[in-house]
């Protein structure tokens, strides 16, 4: 059957149908002539084009607003009637790609997280007792301010200057051993401890110092107090040079049982205080300086100097002008004279 052409006014009248809707295959195509709406698979369309099913198109152009479920797209804004918008890719290794993401003042671009407001901070704030875990190497080129505690279970290497604490109430506890030298930055400037805060004990093998200032010092059985050196009760004090070395006290050098005045031509003096006197304890004698007449120290002799003359075999004393007998002007009996007198008495007495 040939189909003739229907003119425009007639087509319009047939489609409007005096307010009666037109349905094809019940709801396959439904024309709501009263509200000027078209329904596909829907007998009561609620919008200009109401499709109940799947619609496919190569290009969709929406001038004002697109509503998909609870999602509303208007201009360059994606919003939702609910509190959450979920972007969910397919299973396997889902990926949602965007070159830049901005949430309020926070911007994620490439591998950089930054803020859009100058001098504003970025906070990583876990919920409750949660933590922020950084599982790879981390480089910090600026300053790191920590108001809580720092716990490092591995090795720590710090370059540059280090300031620990800002008051004496802060403290450092070292539970590990130290495997390096402790060397000050500047020589003879910094102290270890103070007059008010002292270390209780120092254990060292060798001590090298220019000076020691101590109110008291105990070393073994020796006790140093002010200007006194004493030992524990019943202990002797030993001062001995190593090998052939001696002990020096001022100009005196002591080696074994010999005391030498090392100052050339100096006078060795023993001075008593008050009514004190010089006493040699024991029952043996003492040996004064001795020598022949030729060795008499006349040039520098002082009055009272005493020596034993090995020529005359008698003691002699410098009286201020000459060497004389300790017995005075009458003279003393020498060994030779004593032998002569003894021989004479032996002859007389038979």
* Of 188, 210, 190, 214, nearest in space to 202 by CA: 214
**Ranges 41-45, 50-54, 92-96, 318-322: which has the least confidence:** 92-96
The model's confidence at residue 31, banded by pLDDT at 50, 70 and 90, is: confident
Percent of the chain with pLDDT over 70: 88
SS3 307: strand
Q: Reading across the β-sheet that carries 112-115, which strands appear in turn?
A: 100-103, 106-109, 112-115
The model's confidence at residue 180, banded by pLDDT at 50, 70 and 90, is: very high
**Phi then psi for 176, rounded to 5 degrees?**
-100, 175
**Phi then psi for 252, rounded to 5 degrees?**
-100, 135
**Residue 232: its pLDDT value, please?**
78
- For residues 334 and 324, what is the distance between their CA atoms, to the nearest angstrom? 12
**Ranges 63-72, 156-165, 321-330, 341-350: which has the least confidence:** 341-350
pTM more than 0.75 = no
For 291, residues 6+ apart whose C-beta sits below 8 A from its C-beta are 307, 308, 309, 310
**Residue 275: its pLDDT value, please?**
92
**Ranges 9-23, 55-69, 88-102, 275-289: which has the least confidence:** 9-23
**Residue 1: its pLDDT value, please?**
42
**Phi then psi for 11, rounded to 5 degrees?**
-60, -45
- State mean pLDDT over 307-313: 90
In the predicted structure, residue 103 carries a pLDDT above the cut 70? yes
- State mean pLDDT over 29-34: 81
The model's confidence at residue 264, banded by pLDDT at 50, 70 and 90, is: very high
Over the chain, what is the mean pLDDT?
A: 83
**Phi then psi for 102, rounded to 5 degrees?**
-125, 125
The model's confidence at residue 217, banded by pLDDT at 50, 70 and 90, is: confident
CA distances from 117 to 71, 107, 125 (A): 29, 10, 19
- For residues 266 and 251, what is the distance between their CA atoms, to the nearest angstrom? 9
């Amino acid at each position: 059957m040939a189909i003739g052409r229907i003119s425009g006014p007639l087509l319009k009248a047939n489609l409007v149908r005096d307010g009666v809707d037109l349905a094809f295959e019940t709801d396959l195509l439904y024309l709501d002539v009263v509200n000027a709406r078209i329904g596909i698979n829907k007998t009561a369309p609620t919008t200009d084009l109401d499709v109940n099913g799947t619609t496919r198109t190569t290009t969709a152009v929406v001038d004002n607003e697109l509503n998909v479920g609870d999602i509303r797209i208007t201009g360059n804004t994606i919003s939702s009637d609910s509190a959450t918008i979920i972007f969910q890719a397919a299973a396997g290794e889902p990926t949602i790609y965007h070159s830049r993401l901005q949430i309020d003042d926070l911007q994620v671009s490439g591998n950089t997280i930054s803020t859009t407001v100058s001098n504003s901070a970025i906070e990583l704030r876990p919920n409750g007792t949660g933590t922020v875990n950084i599982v790879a190497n981390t480089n910090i080129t600026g300053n790191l301010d920590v108001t809580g505690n720092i716990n490092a279970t591995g090795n720590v290497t710090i370059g540059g200057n280090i300031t620990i604490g800002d008051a004496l109430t802060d403290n450092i506890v070292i539970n590990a051993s130290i495997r390096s030298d402790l060397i000050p930055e500047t020589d003879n400037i910094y102290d270890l401890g103070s007059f008010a805060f002292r270390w209780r004990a120092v254990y060292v093998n060798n001590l090298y110092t220019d000076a020691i200032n101590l109110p008291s010092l105990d070393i073994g059985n020796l006790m140093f107090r002010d200007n006194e050196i004493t030992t524990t009760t019943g202990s002797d004090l030993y001062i001995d040079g190593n090998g052939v070395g001696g002990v020096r006290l001022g100009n005196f050098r002591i080696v074994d049982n010999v005391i030498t005045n090392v100052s050339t031509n100096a006078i060795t003096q023993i001075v008593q205080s008050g009514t004190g006197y010089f006493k040699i304890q024991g029952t043996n004698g003492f040996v004064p300086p001795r020598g022949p007449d030729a060795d008499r120290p006349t040039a520098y002799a002082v009055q009272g100097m005493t020596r034993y003359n090995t020529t005359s075999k008698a003691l002699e004393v410098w009286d201020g002008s000459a060497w004389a007998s300790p017995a005075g002007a009458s003279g003393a009996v020498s060994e030779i004279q004593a032998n002569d007198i003894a021989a004479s008495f032996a002859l007389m007495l038979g």
